[in-house]
Amino acid sequence: MAEAVEIVEVGPRDGLQNQARIIPTDRKVALVDALSEAGFQRIEVASFVSPRWVPQMADGAEVLVGIGRRPGTRYMALAPNLKGYEAARADGADEVAVVTAASEGFARANLNATVAETLDRIATILDMAHRDEMPVRGYVSVVTDCPYDGEVAPASVARVSAALRDLGCHEVSLGETLGRGTPERVDAMLRAVLEELPPERLAGHFHDTSGRALENVEVALGHGLRVFDSSVGGLGGCPFAPGAAGNVATEALAERLATLGYETALDREALARATALARSLREG
């Protein structure tokens, strides 16, 4: 039997957040529903950030309330602070994601705080989430390169990942946010992080600016990671990482994993329909 790999679909949140044209709520709901039909175990559907910072995500509550709920799929939302967490929980999120960064420059630009301050915010969220029995996933941004600080030391990524583990995140997603990381540097980063967390507690989150995301996925597979984030149709980018392209495309990732002999349990025909819908939402 083929070994299983989970693809976490982040297109409705991480994919759409950088689109300049505001996508109507009903189209976002339609995209999530199409992705649900493909059989994902987890779909990140909304972000409860300030609409002043990310206007595209202002309708997160409406999206969470409006989607159909497929049995077997968990619907996630990003919550940058306690207010965002409370809104995500109230609107029906099954899992919450929190975010910090491996560099001070990116933390200040993206989260308006130092890395230590972001971890303090996350600790407050985790305290509440534990009482609510809400699973929390942690994101570490810029795990190889920062647009403000340059190359990121693997030890910094390991230190922040360990902090998220200690706070209670059940999984840490390692975000290669700029899409500039080479397989060699991804390998060095993972070696450092794996001294702190086992591979089953980690996910890979690779952007494809340099066209090497799938190579980096293969490096992570070699280190034992079996969870990867991707964005249908290659949607994405980051408002605070100028020039970064979208996440690795879900359809390309699923195809590469199948070629390598892994099982994703996704319905390929349903995924193709969701991909066509996602591409129709691209600006321009």
- List residues with catalytic annotation: 238
Is residue 171 helix, strand or coil? strand
How far is it, in rounded angstroms, from Cα 51 to Cα 233?
24
Strands (E), the chain: 6-9, 42-47, 74-78, 95-101, 136-141, 145-146, 150-151, 171-176, 202-206, 227-230
3-state helix, strand, coil in the chain (%, to 5): 45, 20, 35
The DSSP line for 212-267 is: -HHHHHHHHHHTT--EEEEBGGG----TTSTT--PBPBHHHHHHHHHHTT-B----
Q: Taking CA 228 as the corner, what is the angle to CA 247 and CA 241, rounded to the nearest 5 degrees?
A: 30
